Structure formats: structure tokens, C-alpha cells
Amino acid sequence: MSPFCSESAWLYLAVTAALGGMLLWRSQSPGQWKRQAGCLAGLWGGACLLGLSLLCSLLLLSLCCLLLLYVSSSDQELLPVDQKAVLVTGADSGFGHALAKQLDKLGFTVFAGVLDGEGPGAEELKKTCSERLSVLQMDITKAEQIRDAHTKVTEKTQDKGLWALVNNAGVLHFPIDGELLPMTSYRKCMAVNFFGAVEVTKVFLPLLRKSKGRLVNVSSMGGKVPMEMIAAYCPTKAAVTMFSSVLRLELSKWGVKVATVQPGGFQTNITGSRDSWDKMETEILDSFSKELQEDYGQDYVRKQKNLLQMMRDNSCPDITPVLRDIQHAISARNPSSFYAPGRMASLWIYFEAYSPTSVLDYVLKKCFGPKHMPRALRTAS
């Protein structure tokens, strides 16, 4: 009789559910519970397929659950704040701004790197946060500003070093076909999202090695899941994800832990303002060749502004899951290597990794594909 049809298998499943439920209830660590659920599901399925006896299966399951509970308890242990110093880039708004405030409330010494040291985001941090928070003028595409920030951080931390670096700064571009994006958009996204993060990391790594601290890189679900209309953004986040994975291996010998955060869709200022949309739209239309004009049409570009608004409206306004995961990566004794906060973010990443390409492409087109077609294709149909 098939192990999936036997009474023993059903009993085994019930015990798995009970022990697994206890394990998941104990696991408050973001980024951990999905992995543990997968381990339990795989364990049950493997035991059934191997045809182990009920007693052996239950014994194996119990031992593994105890092991996972031990690991989970270790993962939940948070290190004391003890005025640890954290540098957060892109703190003008969005994740970086909220994270700087939260870490300040928890007692961390916070260095908030901002693009505009006199802007509203910087001014709000100065007014609302404690004296432990320092606002640093830090355009991460300018090497001299990065070096100046390093000098200030070194002076304040002295022999303690920097406990954590959170590479959060990032930019998006006008959502349009990759063929239509001007090279300036590709270069800007790569300069900020990847090369900026790399240069900041290289400059501050000696301070992280001194404290045996944490490197936290904010990537994106788009770094794993290909999505139409953001051909410049997704590759930069894929590069950040791989950069983090390589450094995770290299820095382990120094005691520095590396975490990658891959959020789904959240409402931040990364989409820009309507003025910036108009500016990007004009730049795209000005670069139109005669052939692109005939095939796509200017109305196709203008309608893409609706997609920007749709992206903003459909994104989650509550960024708490992202802040919770980053805080865990900074504070947990054993942080995860990867976090995927956001609605279905983990599901999409797993789906991309394991589904056939044809199925993936079909689903992505249905879920994220544009609703209108270029002029030449509309005419042909």
C-alpha cells in the first residue's frame, strides 16, 4: 500500500503538523519560519517515500524538530545594543529614513547617510532623533563624500569600529521597454544601486572587520524575478544579490556576517515624483529614432506614467516587515543570509527558481505585463 494512503502516514502527518506548529510558533525570526516549514515538509515527504516504519519516522521527526527548535532559539537570541554604531545609506526617505529613526529609538549610534543634507528628510531626522544620530551628507556616487563620511564615522566610533552597514540607497527609472530606455538610465541605476553600494562597502569594510559586525544589502525581489518595464533596475539588484553572496563567503573568515534583504512591493519614494516622471518621459521621447517612433509611438510612452501610479497604488504602505527584517539582520546572533519581506515575495522567488521558464514567463506576463501594446503591434492585430 502506498505510504500516502496508509493510516500510519496520516498519523505521521498529524504528528508532523503538531510538532511543526510548535516549531513555527516558537520561530518569531523573520526569514526563518518559511525555511523551517520547508524542512519539515521535505522531511515528512522523504520519510514517506522511503517507506520508513511509523516508529522510525516519528523518532526521526522528533529529533529533527528538536534540532530545529535549538537552531531557532539560537536565531532568536538578540545581541545587546550597547551603543553599537550603524550606518544607513539612503536615509532621506523610505526604508532608510524609517530605519534610522527606529534604530535610534532602540539605542544604536546611527549614522544616516543622505543625498541632500539640507533636505526635508535630513532636517526631520535632526529634529526628531536623539543626539546619538548623525546626519551625513553622502551621495554614494561621489567618492569624496564617501571618504568624508568614513572620516566622521571613524572619529566618532574610535576603537569600537562600525557594527553594521546597511546599503539601502537606490533609484528606479521610468517603466518602459528596455529598448526605449536611454543609456543614461542604465548608467544611473548601475551607478547608484550597484557601484555605489560596492564602493561604500569597500571603504567601510575595515571598520566592520574590526567589530566583526554585519553587512546588510537591500536588494529587491526584482533581483531574482524578471519583470517587464524595469530592464535597468532588475539587473542592478541581481548584481547586488550576487555581490552579497560572494562577500558572505569571503567575510566569514573575519567573523563578519552578510545578509541580503529582497523586499517585494512597498510604498516608498523610489518611484519619484510627477515632475521626475515628466522629465524622464521627455528624455525618452527626445531620444526616439524614426524607426522607434513608427514601431512604438509616443502615446505608448505617455501611457506608461499610469503604470508608475499603479505601482505606487498597489504597493504595501506598511514598511514594518522590511524594518523588522533589517533589524533582525543587524541584531540577531545568527541572522539569516536572505530575507524576503512583503506579500508573496518569497513565493515569487521560489517560483522563479523552480518553475519551468515557459510557465514562469506566462505567469509573469499575466501578472505584471503591460496592458497596452506598441503602435505597430496594435495596427497588425
Give kind and range of the element (H or E) at residue 40. Answer: helix 33-50
Catalytic status, residue 186: no
Contacts of 314 (CB under 8 A, 6+ apart): 265
pLDDT at 256: 98
Per-residue pLDDT of the chain (381 residues; tens, 9 = 90+): 444 455 555 555 565 555 555 554 444 444 445 555 555 555 555 555 455 555 565 666 666 665 555 555 445 689 999 989 999 999 999 999 999 999 999 999 999 999 999 999 999 999 999 999 999 999 999 999 999 999 999 999 988 889 999 999 999 998 999 999 999 999 999 999 999 999 999 999 999 999 999 999 999 999 999 999 999 999 999 999 999 999 999 999 999 999 999 999 998 888 777 788 888 889 999 988 999 999 999 989 888 877 777 777 778 899 999 999 999 999 999 999 999 999 889 999 999 999 999 999 999 999 888 878 898 888 876
pLDDT at 312: 75
Contacts of 292 (CB under 8 A, 6+ apart): 179, 180
- Indicate the domain borders of the chain: 7-76, 85-368
The third-level CATH classification (topology) of the domain covering 85-368 is: Rossmann fold (3.40.50)
CA dist., res. 90 & res. 170, Å (int): 7
Return the SS3 of 187. Answer: helix
Cα atoms in the Cβ-side hemisphere of radius 13 Å centred on 9: 14
Identify which of 220, 222, 237, 228 has the alpha carbon closest to the alpha carbon of residue 178: 228
Point out the catalytic residue in the list 12, 186, 233, 300. 233
pTM: 0.83
